[in-house]
Amino acid sequence: MSNGRTYRVAVLGGDGIGPEVVNAALEVVRGAGVELRTTHYELGAARYLRDGFVMDDATLEELRAFDAILLGAVGPAIGDTRIPNGVLERGLLLRLRFGLDLYVNYRPFRGVAGSIADGHEFAIVRENTEGPYAGEGGVLRRATPHEVATQGSVNTRFGVERCVRYAFERASKLARPRLTLVHKTNVLTFAGDLWSRVVADVGEEFGDVEVDYNHVDAACIYLVESPERYGVIVTDNLFGDILSDLAGAVTGGIGFAASANLNPAKTGASLFEPVHGAAHDIVGSGRANPLAAISSATLMLEHLGEGDAASKIARAVRDFSGDVTLGTTSITQEILGRL
């Protein structure tokens, strides 16, 4: 049962398969009986090519006021030289993450039948506003033999701690409460030291949570060979990005992987989107798996307090046969049929 409210949701379909999967997600949310008042924003490659900018300040402020934001994907096709690298990703997605202070990127996974992680559930809690994504660095003497490019990583006690605390809170709710810090403390000693001490400090508040540590390279082995060792993984922005595509692959495919960019204090809208990108290689083919977008919308419903509708959709997704060759429309129909 929906609690009867109508939610104002900003819909950013974006590029490539983004609009296809977001529309499927909206259909399913409505199919579960939740009323949405949607406002569609044309943001992404087409808008940039037409108007010469990605997103203005007024739009960012407008988006902040919604109950939630649902996003498909942003980014040009690999090799599309009309749009410089990073313009869309930084100008839209990262601008939203930073501007709305969406400091947790929560990415839950569940191995579909027949996948490497068959039946196992775990989550990645990715720090979402710092690390190498903060954009520290620059270029000197570009395109000369003496050029210099630096790309720093920002790690603050405040930023790391609030992310780690969220991860512990999630971990403490598991049937077997456990948290693994993934980092590269053997090389990135400054940031690694901060992250390790914060995990030890915050861990004192969560005595029931088993705490473990993996170097990120080894975590790539363990995710493939023994994913059942993980409950909640907490990690830096860039490691979290990379590990979540790997986690998608071992749990049945990137087309299943959902994410929530959260402002847990709820001082503004949070943003929900699949882990995958614009997938220009399959756009328009009808082959995009909409389940990542549908599960992202489920996370949105949980965040909005529509727990019953969220569970109903999550159950339908869990019961789905896992045959992704069915394509966008048939998968969506199958989910609708199970609600």
Task: Retrieve residue 304's tokens.
Answer: 């909005």
Q: Which is nearer to ligand NAD, 49 or 200 (CB)?
A: 49
Parallel, antiparallel, or unpaired: how do β-strands 104-110 and 68-73 relate? unpaired
Stretch that binds ligand IPM, among 6-14, 88-96, 293-301, 302-310 (CB under 6 A): 88-96
Q: Which is nearer to ligand IPM, 92 or 181 (CB)?
A: 92
Give me the amino acid identity at 74: V
Using an 8 Å Cβ cutoff, are 69 and 269 in contact? yes
Q: What is the largest CA-CA distance in the chain?
A: 65
What is the rounded distance in angstroms from the CA atom of residue 42 to the CA atom of residue 53?
12
Q: How many helices (H) and strands (E) does the chain have?
A: 12, 12
Using an 8 Å Cβ cutoff, are 5 and 67 in contact? no
Q: By CB under 6 A, is residue 100 in contact with ligand NAD?
A: no
Beta bridge partners of 7: 36
**Member of 13, 19, 75, 192 binding ligand IPM (CB under 6 A):** 75
DSSP state of 255: G
**Member of 20, 67, 127, 241 binding ligand IPM (CB under 6 A):** 241
Show the site string, 225-254: x = touches Mn ion by CB under 5 A, - = not.
----------------x-------------
> Active-site residue among 41, 106, 133, 166?
133
Closest CA to 262 of 127, 144, 138, 84: 127
Rg for the chain, CA atoms, rounded: 20
**Member of 11, 63, 93, 160 binding ligand IPM (CB under 6 A):** 93
Q: By CB under 5 A, is residue 127 in contact with Mn ion?
A: no
Stretch that binds ligand NAD, among 35-43, 50-58, 189-197, 280-288 (CB under 6 A): 280-288
Q: What is the contact surface with ligand IPM in residues (CB under 6 A)?
A: 75, 89, 93-94, 241, 275, 277
The set of catalytic residues is 133, 184, 217, 241, 245
Q: What is the contact surface with ligand NAD in residues (CB under 6 A)?
A: 17, 21, 73-76, 78, 89, 93, 254-255, 273, 276-279, 281-282, 288-289, 292
